[in-house]
């Protein structure tokens, strides 16, 4: 990733070429992916949320029996979605068994609002992707 970086351009010269900017973006993407891979190797991912299994949360990985560090995977969030699971969701989306998907980023105003949003989407059989947080709190909390 570092080899893709170019020297900083001078402030006195405008360069209409975006290649260096795009290369810097790719270098950032590669570095972020490498950092995420290290987190999985160290066993920091997928993250554990105490009580997650009690809320009806699910773990879709075929390795759901154990986590990377050998512990029980109960209560762990989903990591990267594997191709088999993604294909099955794609088929369900195409044949109409699943009418769509929703991506929810961040936290709701309150726990009641979060439950209402998620339960309504589940009732409609809509695939839900939950991501991100606000001040350390996300919609799954």
Cross-strand partners of 101: 127
Residue 28 lies in domain: 1-6+16-42
- pLDDT at position 61 is 47
70 falls within a domain: no
Mean pLDDT of all residues in 110-135:
84
Q: Residues 141, 107: contact at Cβ < 8 Å?
A: yes
Instruction: Out of 8-12, 33-37, 47-51, 89-93, give the one with best mean pLDDT.
Output: 33-37
Other CB atoms within a 10 A radius of the CB of residue 26 amount to: 13
Let me know if residue 76 belongs to a domain.
Answer: no
Q: Is residue 1 in a domain?
A: yes
- Domain assignment present for 55: no
Question: Are 138 and 107 in contact, with CB atoms under 8 Å apart?
Answer: yes
Asked whether residue 128 is domain-assigned, the answer is yes
pLDDT digits (tens, 9 = 90+) for 64-85: 555 455 555 566 666 677 788 8
Residues with Cβ within 8 Å of 70's Cβ and at least 6 positions away in sequence, in order, are none
Where does residue 136 fall: left (phi above 0), alpha (psi -120 to 50 degrees), or beta otherwise?
Answer: left
**Number of folded domains in the chain?**
2
């Amino acid at each position: 990733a570092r080899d893709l970086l170019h020297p900083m351009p001078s402030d006195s010269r405008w360069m209409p070429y975006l290649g260096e900017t795009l290369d810097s973006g790719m270098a950032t993407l590669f570095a972020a992916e490498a950092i995420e891979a290290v987190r999985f190797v160290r066993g920091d991912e997928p993250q554990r949320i105490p009580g997650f299994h009690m809320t009806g949360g699910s773990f879709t990985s075929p390795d759901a029996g154990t986590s990377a560090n050998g512990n029980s995977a109960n209560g762990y969030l989903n990591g990267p979605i594997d191709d088999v699971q993604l294909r099955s969701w794609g088929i369900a989306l195409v044949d109409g068994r699943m009418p769509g998907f929703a991506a929810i980023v961040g936290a709701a105003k309150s726990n009641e609002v979060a439950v209402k949003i998620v339960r309504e989407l589940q009732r409609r059989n809509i695939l839900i992707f939950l991501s991100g947080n606000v001040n350390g709190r996300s919609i799954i909390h």
